[in-house]
């Protein structure tokens, strides 16, 4: 049995070094060389100050800014999770109905007006940085009025920051809320 312990410990040590030290260092080095922005968290800087990440949604409720989709974790990246409420959950139904009622009142929408689903449902991670173009268009009048900008100009910025489906077929068109708001800040 002793004859088997020494080789087993050597294999454990070698595999630990290879998979736990060497491989992560090599991959980190390659990522830093080839994709430094992404390897460092896709941080967005304004005047040298980090204002967020293009990959993580942020809580925004100022009237002059586009608002992100709801988050059940209040945009805290540490737990990064959804609510785990299933489609038959009464609590989920109540949350969605309350959001729908709030949006209809806030935007003065009729009962038959279509509300983009991403404004009603939180994302699976609770950190989605994107909204649909339809959700952005719903907010144009409020943002334009608060910023004293023509609606057409705000709509143009939305079009400029609308990302297509990945590779033309994965997902749907989307707008990064942080980048959109920073672009509008740059208009002044």
Q: Which two tokens stand for residue 138?
A: 């719903």
Cα end-to-end span (Å), the chain: 76
- How do strand 49-53 and strand 130-131 relate by DSSP bridges? unpaired
Give pLDDT, residue 182: 94
CA 11 to chain CA centroid, Å, is 42
Sign of CA dihedral 136, 138, 142, 144: positive
Give pLDDT, residue 188: 65
Give pLDDT, residue 126: 81
Helix (H), strand (E) at residue 59: none
Domain ranges (residues) in the chain: 1-40, 42-185
φ, ψ of residue 77 in degrees (nearest 5): -75, -10
- Spans of the chain, pLDDT less than 50: none
């Amino acid at each position: 049995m002793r004859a088997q312990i020494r080789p087993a410990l050597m294999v454990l040590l070698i595999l630990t070094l290879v998979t736990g030290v060497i491989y992560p260092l090599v991959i980190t080095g390659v990522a830093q060389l080839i994709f430094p922005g992404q390897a460092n968290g896709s941080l967005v800087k304004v005047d040298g100050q980090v204002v967020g990440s293009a990959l993580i949604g942020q809580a925004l409720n100022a009237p002059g800014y586009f608002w992100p989709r709801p988050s059940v974790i209040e945009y805290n990246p540490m737990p990064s999770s959804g609510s785990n409420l299933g489609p038959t959950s009464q609590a989920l139904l109540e949350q969605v109905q309350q959001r729908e009622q709030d949006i209809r009142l806030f935007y003065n929408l009729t009962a038959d007006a279509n509300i983009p689903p991403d404004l009603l449902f939180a994302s699976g991670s609770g950190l989605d940085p994107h909204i649909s173009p339809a959700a952005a268009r719903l907010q144009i009048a409020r943002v334009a009025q608060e910023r004293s900008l023509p609606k057409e100009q705000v709509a143009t910025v939305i079009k400029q920051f609308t990302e297509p489906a990945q590779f033309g077929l994965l997902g749907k068109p989307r707008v990064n809320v942080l980048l959109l708001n920073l672009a509008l800040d740059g208009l002044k």
